[in-house]
Structure 1
């Protein structure tokens, strides 16, 4: 009996040990697998929340200001770098050709009374191309050469031309800031197309349409960039000798410019888009003058000319459409002032020299402030005798090859 009991006890202990081992091995993997499950769910929730937040924020902005066509263009361009290793072209011509006939965008911020108050007399309207981010440049223009008021007996008015920013998330509350700036200065014109280099043509046609509708009584218009220095007194003196009832288009005119066919260039234009070998004469976009009569003719002709991605050339096509030849003026330096080899001692940043110019391109905001203060100080840096009687004529080298197109 003792032998049997001992055998039964051993068998029972053996079976208990086996069962415990089986239970242990069966429970062990469940303990390993089960804890990660809640972790994975927590991680997925954390990554989804910011994504939905950004998507909802973008969708609100798009509903407010952007058209569907340009939202699609922006989405396609953002996906391209991540899906392809090939270098993206400087311009999506296929997308451009699909949307080139869409040229009517909503005016989000308007100044309908710009040319009516305080009186109906408007001698010169200054229109400056700008972007939302460049508040400091707009402020520099407002406080220097772009001041509104009566200058040498002529009423001067000012507007800034803007589109919606491409990177909306980089500028928080940009719409509210633009509304506040417009309310304070009353000089902002904002359309709902994306403010990109190749959309400057849209800015051109929309401004002309706006000027024809709201500033039809203006005698002359100066249109330029925010990084130019303008001697407004010289502009007014020149315009007071012109007939406001006739055509006028004056600037730094480029003739015999050929389309650039190199794909590496910012201004690359394929032959399928422009098959001719030469551009019509056009003005450098840094700044040019035109009469109110010419403005109205250009506004009408631009509706009959296909949109072209380079705004300077496009305006030259519109001038060609109305059979108007732009006039070259030596006071317009829309490509800056290089130091000439014929006068190596000439200081290109000399206020005495700037006195006799009209428009100089590619200046920093601080340089514009400095030059303005020097020219309008109580003790001018140069006397009347020292002033240059005639502007220095920059001789362009005669090249055997045709001149390539260069724009501002």
Structure 2
């Protein structure tokens, strides 16, 4: 005790303060340290698991879309000779522009309800609201039907493009002695049954119906079916048109089917078809092979494995524009009625061709991806009539560009080009 002296003969020993600390305090500190280490280990495991799930979810989207089905991992197969290989898309990059002064066609945005699609995909019969039953029989058509029927996919609000087609390459009548007829393929504008604004513009069902019926009376070229006019319903346009053409144009010799934003050199197309037999199978265009399904949810062409589980699509012609014979049209109408519907229309048509054991014919003058600049001339302006006079189909033009190019090519004097005559049936080359 403080103030007391040690007894005589005993030595006073000073005990350090730290030696008297109880064992309970040390145990609490050790427990807190172990809990902290355990929390850090758990957080690290959670972060690792989240990263693994993210990589797993993205594994299909990161795979290239240019290779064919693989025999083993990492072993790429050679593309089929003479056919176009689908370019690998960059999930984060915008699609390349065809020309800096040519606007891109609008791309549908927003999530797609695949559950609803799967539930309704077996519904493939919709009534025809506006018909043109005499398109291939009356108004000067011969008993054997037209030589070329032009079928253009359109939407209700796209009147400007339809007018551009009517006044230029899609005009009806005689072209180089061949009889040409034209129809536009439409569905009901999405949301047109509501009182609010729909996906294509303001208007009610009555509004759009009145406008399209007036347009049909004026031009007699509108085919309207009672399904929603959406991107993933383009397949319905495909099968309904094939059925319609087989019923109302059974004797048509050839059919060109394409989008409303394409430019078609009809003269070159007729020259290409002149030596062909319409009774033989033919489907020619910009043929794409070894295209793999897109698994990236943000992509316009996203297809989950539940809808298509194979590693690659069959060969198909780009939906921007292709030509087929009357015989192939009638065979496709029967085959497509037996093939399960698929959301991407040009791929679906490739599946129908596969069922018939037919191979689409590639042609270099079908440019469904537009005209690309050569690497040696990055500043070359490709919106030039001297390029277009050599081609059959070019995709991705505005209504104004279609009208302008048509008049540049068909003016009184025509374009001053190095080639004195068209070479549409040969491979496209740059320069004279």
Answer yes or no: same fold by TM over 0.5.
yes
Q: Which one of the candidate residues 178, 196, 206 is aligned to 2:230?
A: 196
Give the equivalent residue in structure 2 for 1:19.
Answer: none
* 8 Å Cα contact 2:390/2:428 also seen in 1: no
Partner of 1:229: 263
Shift of 1:380: 1.2
Tell me if 1:218 matches 2:252. yes
Residue matched to 1:90? 111
The Cα of 1:91 is off from its aligned counterpart by: 1.8
* Residue 126 (structure 2) pairs with residue 102 (structure 1): no
Give the number of the structure whose residues are more often helix, by fraction.
Answer: 1
**Other structure's SS at 1:276 match:** coil
Report Cα offsets for 1:329-349 as digits up to 9, x if no partner: 000000111211144464311
Matched, 1:254 2:275: no
Once residues 388 and 108 of structure 1 are traced to their aligned partners in structure 2, the CA distance between those partners, rounded to angstroms, is: 41
Cα shift readout 1:113-142 (whole Å, capped 9, x = no counterpart): 000012333100000000000111000000
CA distance in 2, matches of 1:350, 1:198: 34
Q: Distance in 2 between matches of 1:340 and 1:155?
A: 37
Map 1:1-400 onto structure 2 (within 5 A): 90-117=111-138, 118-119=140-141, 120=143, 121-168=145-192, 169=195, 170-171=202-203, 173-344=207-378, 346-383=380-417, 385=419, 389=423, 390-392=426-428
* Higher relative contact order, structure no. (Cα contacts within 8 Å, ≥ 6 residues apart): 2
User: CA offset at residue 161 of structure 1?
Assistant: 0.1
Cα separation, partners in 2 of 1:242 and 1:264, compared to 1, 3 Å:
same
Following superposition, the deviation at residue 313 of structure 1 comes to 0.6
| SS at structure 2 position matched to 1:101 | coil
User: Counterparts of 2:121 and 2:212 in 1: how far apart (Å)?
Assistant: 28
Q: Distance in 1 between matches of 2:355 and 2:171?
A: 34
Deviations 1:235-294 (CA, angstroms, capped at 9, x unpaired): 111111111110000000100000011112111111111111010001111000000100
Counterpart Cα distance in 1 of 2:376 and 2:288: 22
How far off is 1:205 after superposition?
0.3
CA distance in 1, matches of 2:261, 2:254: 21
Aligned to 1:258, the other structure's residue is in SS state coil
SS in 2 for 1:221: strand
Contiguous gaps of at least 5 residues in structure 2: 1-108, 196-201
How far is the alpha carbon of 1:167 from its aligned partner? 3.2
Provide the C-alpha distance between the structure 1 equivalents of 2:375 and 2:368, rounded to a whole number of angstroms: 19
* TM-score, structure 2 normalization: 0.69
Q: 1:193-241 CA deviation, whole Å, 9 max, x = no partner?
A: 0000000000100000000000011000000000000000001111111
- What is the CA RMSD across the aligned residues, in angstroms? 1.7
How much has 1:386 moved relative to structure 2?
5.5
After TM superposition, the structure 1 stretch with the greater mean CA deviation from structure 2, 383-392 or 142-151, is 383-392
Shift of the 97–383 alpha-carbon distance from structure 1 to 2, 3 Å rule, reads closer
What are the superposed Cα offsets for residues 176-202 of structure 1, whole Å, 9 maximum, x if unpaired? 111111011000000000000000000
Paired residues in the alignment total 307
